[in-house]
């Protein structure tokens, strides 16, 4: 498997689950670090039992479409895989690099896609995408819309919808860790956001909604606070907005939180909000933070951007993206209804156990491998 995503320690539990399945000998290649708009994430060696996790140099780090791996050919020759899993979009240079190796050596290969917008790419990315379509044996799509994009573009091989990663229900549990931020007697309701501080995530909408609902609190009128976990280029602008809305004393920016410490973040909040906004080039592809919070029995509110309503199902509350008064109303509703918060927490945990654990996603991925190798 070639995957820059598994530098995140919590994601590696899927690899352990895959490696436990019959006749699987797993080697995973990943870069030492990856940079994006949220900052740099270095490889976290957290769950590494039962498989080989190898860091390999990456060129053009931070360039989503054009990064590649100078030593990939040597690594694959040493691993001698029967099957190659490329955890990259079909239009990325690294995908072409890996699929070209697989084609030359007669190995079945698959790619993974989150892309849920029907975009047309300029050369050379259009040519890379076409090559990936012709030379892959299977495709994994992270959501239903991504599958439909592949089909509409003429992808002819099988496509299976499987989220890229699930969660470990033993790590993501309500009382698995003490709160990252101690409870505050002066702030009866704690709202949380986790993710990139970038415009499309809609954190400014959350701040405006909280300004509209200044009186909301867990047990009636009173103060609240917002905990923001994550980093990104928009953070200075969001800090200024909090000051302009006279919210600065109630908003705490925590910076980036390690993946394995996220249960402690969820233990610190009463509700998680994911207020994503669709743009011309992006809409929410999954919203992993939702399933993490749901696993910890933390109630969730999400916008209706992209895959969010399908992830939440009946286990949370949905508002029209960008509708700040609607979001404020949902926050007030949860603030005043402890029984509803508890019920949504219970439903969220049950939904995650049924659909989104690492074990279930590993098993579904394994069935795809068996199909590719002709063993089912």
Q: Taking the alpha carbons of 76, 77, 78, 82 in that order, is the dihedral positive or negative?
A: positive
pLDDT, tens digit (0-9, with 9 covering 90-100), for 160-179? 999 999 999 999 998 889 99
In a domain, 366, yes or no: yes
pLDDT, tens digit (0-9, with 9 covering 90-100), for 198-223? 999 999 999 999 999 876 765 554 68
pLDDT at 375 over 70: no
- In this prediction, residue 36 carries a pLDDT of 87
Mean pLDDT, range 315-338, rounded to an integer: 96
Asked whether residue 71 falls in the same domain as residue 131, the answer is: yes
In a domain, 300, yes or no: yes
Asked whether residue 260 falls in the same domain as residue 202, the answer is: yes
- In this prediction, residue 250 carries a pLDDT of 93
Cα–Cα distance for residue pair 42/21, rounded to 1 Å: 28
Cα–Cα distance for residue pair 145/337, rounded to 1 Å: 34
**Which is nearest to 32 in space by CA: 61, 64, 1?**
61
Asked whether residue 124 falls in the same domain as residue 263, the answer is: no
For residue 250, the enclosing domain spans 189-355
Asked whether residue 24 falls in the same domain as residue 103, the answer is: yes
Asked whether residue 81 falls in the same domain as residue 21, the answer is: yes
pLDDT at 376 over 50: no
In a domain, 15, yes or no: yes
Asked whether residue 351 falls in the same domain as residue 363, the answer is: no
We report the CATH number of the domain holding residue 223 as: 3.40.50.2000
In a domain, 243, yes or no: yes
Between CA 291 and CA 243, with CA 226 as vertex, the angle to 5 degrees is 140
pTM over the 0.85 mark: yes
Cα–Cα distance for residue pair 197/194, rounded to 1 Å: 9
Asked whether residue 102 falls in the same domain as residue 129, the answer is: yes
Asked whether residue 32 falls in the same domain as residue 149, the answer is: yes
Contacts of range 238-246, beta carbons closer than 8 Å, 24 or more positions apart: 238/197, 238/203, 238/204, 238/207, 241/204, 241/207, 242/207, 245/207, 245/208, 245/211, 246/211
Q: What are phi and psi of 207, to 5 degrees?
A: -60, -45
Asked whether residue 158 falls in the same domain as residue 12, the answer is: yes
In a domain, 238, yes or no: yes
Mean pLDDT of the chain: 95
Asked whether residue 15 falls in the same domain as residue 158, the answer is: yes
In a domain, 299, yes or no: yes
State how many domains the chain has: 2
In a domain, 173, yes or no: no
**Which is nearest to 231 in space by CA: 181, 195, 268, 205?**
195
Cα–Cα distance for residue pair 312/298, rounded to 1 Å: 12
**Helix (H) / strand (E) containing 152:** helix 144-152
In a domain, 259, yes or no: yes
- In this prediction, residue 221 carries a pLDDT of 44
């Amino acid at each position: 498997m070639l995957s820059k995503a598994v530098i995140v320690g919590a994601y590696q539990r899927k690899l352990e689950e895959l490696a436990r399945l019959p006749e699987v000998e797993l080697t995973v290649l990943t870069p030492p670090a990856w940079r994006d708009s949220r900052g740099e994430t270095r490889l976290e060696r957290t769950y590494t039992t039962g498989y080989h996790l190898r860091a390999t140099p990456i060129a053009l780090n931070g360039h989503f479409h054009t990064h590649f791996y100078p030593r990939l050919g040597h690594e694959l020759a040493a691993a001698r895989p029967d099957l190659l899993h490329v955890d990259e979009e079909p239009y990325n240079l690294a995908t072409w690099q890996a699929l070209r190796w697989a084609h030359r050596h007669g190995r079945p290969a698959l790619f993974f896609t989150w892309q849920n917008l029907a975009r047309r790419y300029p050369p050379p990315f259009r040519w890379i995408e076409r090559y990936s379509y012709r030379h892959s044996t299977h495709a994994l799509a992270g959501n239903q819309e991504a599958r439909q994009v592949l089909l509409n573009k003429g992808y002819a091989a099988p496509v299976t919808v499987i989220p890229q990663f699930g969660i470990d229900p033993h790590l993501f549990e309500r009382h698995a860790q003490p709160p990252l931020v101690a409870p505050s007697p002066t702030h009866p309701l704690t709202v949380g956001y986790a993710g990139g501080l970038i415009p499309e995530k809609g954190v400014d909408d959350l701040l405006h909604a909280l300004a509209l609902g200044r009186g909301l609190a867990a047990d009636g009128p009173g103060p609240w606070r917002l905990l923001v976990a994550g980093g990104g280029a928009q953070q200075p602008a969001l800090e200024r907005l909090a000051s302009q809305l006279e919210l600065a004393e109630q908003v705490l920016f925590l910076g980036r939180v390690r993946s394995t410490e996220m249960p402690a973040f969820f233990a610190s909040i009463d509700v998680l909000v994911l207020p994503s906004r669709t743009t011309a080039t992006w809409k929410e592809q999954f919203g992993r933070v939702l399933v993490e919070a749901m696993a910890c029995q933390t109630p969730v509110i999400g916008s209706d951007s992209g895959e969010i309503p399908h992830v939440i199902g009946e286990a949370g509350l949905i508002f029209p993206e960008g509708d700040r008064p609607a979001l404020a109303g949902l926050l007030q509703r949860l603030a005043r209804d402890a029984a509803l918060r508890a019920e949504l927490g219970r439903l969220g945990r049950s939904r995650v156990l049924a659909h989104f654990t690492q074990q279930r996603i590993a098993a579904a991925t394994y069935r795809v491998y068996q199909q590719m190798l002709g063993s089912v």
